[in-house]
């Protein structure tokens, strides 16, 4: 007698806590004001969907990291086993019941839970579960919340068809491991889309929503298998599968194949740069959960070639790191961005876009640009002693006057500015910088693409300021575009989840240099590769570029271009500015050694499908000699910039 009374109390309690059926059914059609139940004004939880990035040729780069994963698909694109298994285990009267509530299921669940001594069944219908997950987020199942749940469920059942409700449920329910919806769950556990789920796979997923952590197949495979077999039993009971098929299914293993679809990132430095650009333009939430489809500018072939060239020279754990960035001068599109840093652990920043390293003599490019803008001819004659004291008071340092030294203390005598560029003569370029003024050098660098802050110090031409490989590649791309600067971009096209194109890469740039100035600088840089410090970078086509080595050989660069592609290579130790010594037969690594060779080994195959185009040749009159400045020399501790 007592046991029966307890059972009645349990049934009544579950009716209130589980569905509120005993009260709610009385006013489904005419809910009292107390409930304030209006589906039209209810605020649905916004789950969103994953945003994916791909290369310019359609290869997947990865998903923007998110706290949840979701890829909605129509019910017609799910395996028919999944809705069948879900209905069988969660709401077997779903298709035949007229009401959003199921008092019979509530009583059945109460009895089962009573006999088990713990919750083993739920009494909520699929409609109620959908309403609870979508609209109600109260921390505990209060009486008022259960009444509102029942009321909203009734309205939803009246508004939408059974298939619409089931499809919505399967696209929103939580399956564990950050997977919301059938597609994300199928990919997470089986590395396949929802439409290809087998009977046993669908049964496993259908059993997860009741308790995703308890039935987690990755952490608790035995418990998950028992739960899957409960679902299979429900399918057999409802005559969805034959006894023989049931027996074969319950004997099968889980056949899990966990996916890295939402965690694996290809071309990670580029991916991270593209993700930051996406967040900057569309906001953090939309970038992560807006279901955007991103066609990036990355060329997968060029990316492979860049990574291969870097590994060929610096692939051992004790080697320094290298970063390579390649840009299309006509658009600013980043075509390759790779960082190879074996043996240096997990880097906390992108060496290609976020590092700030001394550029060395690659910065002479900006001093040369300022000189061309100031009307100093490439044919002007300068004196290049092995060392030079600059008496200007603004150049004074702790040791007194600024003393400049050539690489290896070489004396170059009298030569033209064109020759001084080819052989990277420090003492001549120090004079050039002082003649045009450091401020003009900084201004030219900023106009051409350098965004890092630069101080207009006297030594600016020797590259003491920190810049990134991306900035340098962008600046050299401005020369390749004959003075037009295009901001570097990673996003070629951004498409919304409904197919609308939100943005495309802008092809228009702004003129940073006159065409005449850009052509003269390009002409001078071609001599660097043809007969100067960068001969190792030479290709079977016209090339322009500049070598660079920071003080004490701590950083080495080669930046160069053809009309269709500009590429910059940096080599250095990422955690500390250490000398680059004794690498691959080079006692001292300078820009014209390993960086120039990496550049060559990337650009040669990268341009194999690209027509040969000539570099611009300036008029002869602008190359005529004219004596400008030829001071004497002095001595001081050696500096390195080549």
- The 10s digit of each residue's pLDDT in 85-117 is 999 999 999 998 877 676 666 666 556 655 666
Predicted confidence (pLDDT) at residue 446 exceeds the cutoff of 70: yes
- The 10s digit of each residue's pLDDT in 37-69 is 788 777 788 889 999 999 999 999 999 999 899
Sorted by where each starts, the structural domains of the chain and their CATH numbers stand as 1-29+95-173 (1.10.3810.10), 304-629 (3.40.710.10)
How far apart are alpha carbons 214 and 221 in whole angstroms? 10
- The 10s digit of each residue's pLDDT in 531-573 is 999 999 999 999 999 999 998 999 999 999 999 999 999 999 9
The string of DSSP letters for 265-279 reads: -SSHHHHHHHHHHHH
Q: Name the more confident of 159 and 122.
A: 159
Strand, helix or coil at 293? Answer: strand
Q: Do the bridges between strand 491-495 and strand 501-504 make them parallel or antiparallel, or are there none, so unpaired?
A: antiparallel
Q: What is the pLDDT of residue 8?
A: 35
Contacts 24+ apart (CB under 8 A), 388-396: 388/427, 388/430, 388/431, 388/631, 388/632, 388/633, 388/634, 389/633, 389/634, 389/636, 390/430, 390/434, 390/458, 392/434, 392/458, 394/458, 395/434, 395/458, 395/459
Q: What is the pLDDT of residue 156?
A: 87
- The 10s digit of each residue's pLDDT in 220-251 is 999 999 999 999 999 999 999 999 999 999 99
Threshold 0.85, pTM exceeds: yes
CB-count burial class (<10 Å; 0-12, 13-18, 19+) for 563: buried
List 546's β-bridge partners, or say none. 559
The string of DSSP letters for 158-196 reads: HHS-HHHHHHHHHHHSB-STTBBSHHHHHHHHHSS-GGG
How far apart are alpha carbons 602 and 607 in whole angstroms? 9
Q: Compute the chain's Rg from CA coordinates.
A: 34
Please check whether residue 173 is in contact with residue 87, taking contact to mean a CB–CB distance below 8 angstroms: no
Please check whether residue 25 is in contact with residue 118, taking contact to mean a CB–CB distance below 8 angstroms: no
Q: Please, which residues have CB within 8 angstroms of residue 577's CB and are 6 or more apart in sequence?
A: 357, 358, 550, 554, 555
- For residues 480-501, one letter each, b for 16 or more C-beta atoms within 10 angstroms of the residue's C-beta and e for the rest, the string is bbbbbbbebbbbbebbeeeeee
Helix (H) or strand (E) holding 303: helix 300-313
Q: What is the pLDDT of residue 173?
A: 96
- The 10s digit of each residue's pLDDT in 474-499 is 999 999 999 999 999 999 999 999 99
Q: Do the bridges between strand 402-405 and strand 466-467 make them parallel or antiparallel, or are there none, so unpaired?
A: unpaired
Please check whether residue 488 is in contact with residue 327, taking contact to mean a CB–CB distance below 8 angstroms: yes
List 326's β-bridge partners, or say none. 336, 567
List C-alpha distances in Å: 236 to 79, 93, 105, 247, 249. 18, 15, 19, 10, 11
Distance from first CA to last CA of the chain, Å, rounded? Answer: 98
- The 10s digit of each residue's pLDDT in 373-431 is 999 999 999 999 999 988 888 887 777 888 999 887 687 889 999 999 999 999 999 99
For the residues 166-189, what does the mean pLDDT come to? 97
For the residues 23-45, what does the mean pLDDT come to? 59
Q: What is the pLDDT of residue 638?
A: 36
Q: What is the pLDDT of residue 511?
A: 97
Please check whether residue 477 is in contact with residue 332, taking contact to mean a CB–CB distance below 8 angstroms: yes
Predicted confidence (pLDDT) at residue 3 exceeds the cutoff of 50: no
Predicted confidence (pLDDT) at residue 637 exceeds the cutoff of 60: no
Predicted confidence (pLDDT) at residue 24 exceeds the cutoff of 70: no
Lowest mean pLDDT among 261-270, 320-329, 516-525, 593-602: 261-270
Structure tokens at 476: 């050299």
How far apart are alpha carbons 337 and 302 in whole angstroms? 9
Q: What is the pLDDT of residue 629?
A: 52
List C-alpha distances in Å: 297 to 56, 270, 334, 551. 5, 10, 6, 35
Q: What is the pLDDT of residue 627?
A: 53
Phi, psi at 462, each rounded to 5°:
-90, 5
List C-alpha distances in Å: 537 to 520, 546, 561, 564. 20, 10, 10, 16
- The 10s digit of each residue's pLDDT in 195-210 is 999 999 999 999 999 9
The gap from C-alpha 418 to its chain's centroid, in whole angstroms, comes to 41
Predicted confidence (pLDDT) at residue 15 exceeds the cutoff of 50: no
How far apart are alpha carbons 347 and 135 in whole angstroms? 42
Q: Name the more confident of 215 and 623.
A: 215
């Amino acid at each position: 007698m007592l046991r029966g009374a307890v059972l009645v109390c349990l049934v009544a309690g579950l009716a209130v806590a589980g569905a509120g059926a005993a009260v709610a059914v009385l006013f489904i059609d005419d809910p009292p004001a107390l409930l304030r139940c209006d589906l039209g004004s209810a605020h649905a939880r916004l789950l969103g969907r994953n945003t994916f990035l791909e290369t310019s040729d359609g290869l997947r780069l990865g998903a923007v990291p998110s706290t949840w994963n979701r890829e909605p698909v129509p019910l017609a694109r799910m395996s028919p086993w999944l809705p069948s298994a879900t209905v069988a285990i969660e709401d077997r009267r779903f298709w035949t019941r007229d009401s959003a509530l199921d008092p019979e299921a509530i009583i059945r669940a109460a009895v089962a839970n009573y006999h088990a001594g713990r919750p083993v069944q739920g009494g909520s219908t699929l409609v109620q579960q959908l309403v609870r997950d979508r609209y109600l987020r109260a921390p505990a199942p209060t009486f008022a919340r259960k009444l509102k749940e029942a009321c909203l469920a009734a309205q939803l059942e009246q508004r939408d068809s059974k298939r619409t409700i089931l499809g919505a449920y399967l696209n929103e329910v939580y399956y564990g491991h950050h997977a919301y919806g059938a597609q994300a769950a199928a990919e997470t556990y089986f590395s396949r889309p929802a439409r290809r789920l087998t009977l046993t796979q669908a049964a496993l997923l259908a059993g997860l929503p009741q308790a995703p952590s308890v039935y987690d197949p990755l952490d608790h495979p035995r418990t998950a298998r028992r739960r899957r077999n409960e679902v299979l039993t429900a399918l057999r009971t409802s005559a969805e599968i034959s006894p023989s098929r049931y027996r074969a299914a319950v004997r099968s293993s889980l056949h899990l194949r966990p996916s890295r679809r939402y965690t694996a990132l290809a071309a990670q430095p580029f991916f991270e740069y593209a993700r930051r650009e996406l967040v900057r333009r569309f906001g953090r939430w939309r970038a992560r959960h807006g279901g955007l489809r991103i066609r990036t500018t990355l060329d997968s072939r060029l990316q492979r070639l860049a990574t291969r060239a870097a590994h060929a020279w610096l692939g051992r754990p004790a080697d320094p790191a290298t970063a390579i960035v390649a840009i299309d001068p006509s658009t600013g599109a980043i075509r390759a961005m790779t960082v190879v840093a074996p043996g240096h652990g997990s880097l906390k920043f992108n060496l290609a876009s976020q590092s700030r390293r001394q550029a060395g003599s690659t910065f002479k490019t900006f001093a040369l640009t300022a000189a061309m803008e100031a009307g100093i001819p490439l044919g002007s004659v300068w004196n290049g002693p092995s060392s030079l004291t600059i008496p200007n008071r603004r150049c004074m340092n702790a040791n007194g006057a600024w003393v400049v030294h050539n690489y290896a203390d070489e004396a170059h005598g009298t030569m033209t500015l064109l020759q001084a560029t080819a052989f990277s003569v420090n003492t001549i370029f120090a004079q050039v910088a002082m003649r045009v003024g450091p401020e003009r050098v900084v201004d030219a660098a900023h106009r051409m693409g350098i965004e890092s802050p630069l101080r207009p110090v006297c030594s600016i031409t020797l590259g003491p300021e920190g810049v990134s490989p991306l900035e340098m590649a962008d600046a050299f791309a401005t020369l390749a575009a004959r003075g037009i600067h295009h901001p570097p971009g990673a996003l070629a096209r951004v498409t919304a989840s409904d197919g609308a194109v939100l943005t495309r890469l802008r092809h228009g740039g702004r003129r940073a240099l006159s065409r005449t100035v850009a052509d003269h600088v390009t002409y001078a840089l071609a001599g660097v590769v043809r007969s100067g410090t960068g001969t190792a970078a030479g290709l079977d086509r016209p090339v322009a570029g500049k070598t660079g080595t920071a003080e004490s050989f701590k950083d080495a660069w080669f930046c160069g271009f053809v009309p269709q592609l500009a590429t910059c290579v940096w080599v250095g130790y990422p955690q500390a500015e250490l000398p680059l010594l004794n690498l691959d037969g080079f006692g001292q690594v300078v820009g014209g050694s390993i960086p120039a060779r990496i550049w060559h080994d990337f650009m040669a195959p990268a341009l194999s499908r690209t027509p040969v185009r000539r570099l611009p040749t300036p008029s002869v009159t602008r190359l005529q000699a004219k004596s400008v400045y030829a001071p004497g020399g002095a001595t001081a501790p050696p500096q390195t910039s080549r």
